[in-house]
């Protein structure tokens, strides 16, 4: 008999990327899975994962906390001379390929935890205390929203929904 773990189990989601990671999880696995996936996506689309694109993605996957463009620029500039437009192009490329998401509220970037389900609307739980972000598995835009938008003649291209709150770890530390 098969065991009853299902693909709905958060820990089984994307090649070992946990939905809401505990502080002591093996993060190098998340990062490696994301980088390997990026390499596969680029190869299958005949696109080049250039050194800058890869380094940018790697830097974004340093943690599950969103990172701002200026911080990325500062970190990447340690390794190489880098003009802001080059970084913006790399970020745009990664976003177009569904490898990262842009969080509007904080103008920052986060690695996509469900890159296989493209295209999807990003729905994020953002901890206001430790900054950890969990991306919920791609949920469809609700029919109600879709209908209203259509009635207004608006074609929804993509959606990003951000929920602010406190993660379990932070709530346990100081409720
Ligand atoms: Zn991780
Ligand atoms: Zn995503
Ligand atoms: Zn937290």
pLDDT digits (tens, 9 = 90+) for 72-113: 999 999 878 899 999 999 999 999 888 999 998 888 999 988
Give the model's confidence band at 116: pLDDT under 50 very low, under 70 low, under 90 confident, else very high.
low
6-62 pLDDT tens trace: 333 333 344 556 777 888 889 999 999 999 999 999 999 999 999 999 999 999 999
Please state the pTM of the whole predicted model. Answer: 0.79
Find the 112 Cα to ligand 2 centroid distance in Å.
4
The least confident of 94-108, 115-129, 146-160 is: 115-129
Give the model's confidence band at 150: pLDDT under 50 very low, under 70 low, under 90 confident, else very high.
very high
pLDDT for 9? 36
Kindly state whether residue 62 falls inside one of the protein's structural domains: yes
Find the 166 Cα to ligand 2 centroid distance in Å.
21
Kindly state whether residue 48 falls inside one of the protein's structural domains: yes
Q: The domain containing residue 167 runs over which residues? A: 25-173
Kindly state whether residue 64 falls inside one of the protein's structural domains: yes
Kindly state whether residue 55 falls inside one of the protein's structural domains: yes
DSSP output for the chain: ---S--TTSGGGSBTTB-SS--TTS-HHHHHHHHHHHHHHHHHHTT----HHHHHHHHHHTTSSS-EEHHHHHHHHHHHS---HHHHHHHHHHHHHTTSEEEETTTTEEEE-S-TTS-S--EEEEEETTT--EEEEP--PPPHHHHHHHHHTT------EEEEEE--HHHHHH--
Kindly state whether residue 115 falls inside one of the protein's structural domains: yes
Total domain count for the chain?
1
Which residues have CB less than 5 Å away from ligand 3 (the ion)?
A: 127, 129-130, 167, 170
pLDDT for 105? 81
pLDDT for 146? 85
Find the 73 Cα to ligand 2 centroid distance in Å.
23
* Ligand approaching nearest to the C-alpha of 119: 2
Kindly state whether residue 114 falls inside one of the protein's structural domains: yes
Kindly state whether residue 5 falls inside one of the protein's structural domains: no
Quote the CA–CA distance of 31 and 45 in Å, as a whole number: 21
Kindly state whether residue 121 falls inside one of the protein's structural domains: yes
* Ligand approaching nearest to the C-alpha of 164: 3
Find the 1 Cα to ligand 2 centroid distance in Å.
33
Report for 13-22, 137-146, 163-172: range of highest mean pLDDT: 163-172
Quote the CA–CA distance of 82 and 66 in Å, as a whole number: 21
The CATH number given to whatever domain includes residue 59 is: 1.10.10.10
């Amino acid at each position: 008999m098969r065991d009853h773990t299902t693909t709905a189990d958060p820990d089984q989601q994307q090649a070992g990327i946990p939905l809401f990671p505990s502080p002591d999880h093996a993060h190098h696995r998340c990062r490696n899975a994301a980088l390997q996936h990026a390499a596969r996506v680029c190869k299958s689309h005949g696109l080049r994962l250039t050194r800058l694109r890869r380094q940018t993605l790697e830097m974004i996957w340093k943690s599950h906390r969103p990172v701002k463009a200026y911080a990325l620029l500062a970190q990447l500039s340690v390794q190489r001379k880098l003009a802001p437009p080059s970084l913006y192009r790399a970020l745009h490329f990664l976003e177009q390929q569904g490898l990262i998401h842009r969080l509007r509220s904080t103008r920052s970037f986060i690695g996509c935890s469900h890159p296989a389900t493209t295209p999807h609307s990003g729905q994020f739980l953002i901890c206001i205390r430790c900054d950890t972000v969990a991306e919920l598995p791609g949920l469809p835009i609700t029919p109600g929203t879709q209908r209203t938008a259509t009635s207004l003649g608006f074609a929804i291209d993509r959606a990003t929904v951000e929920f602010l709150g406190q993660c379990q770890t932070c709530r346990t530390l100081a409720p």
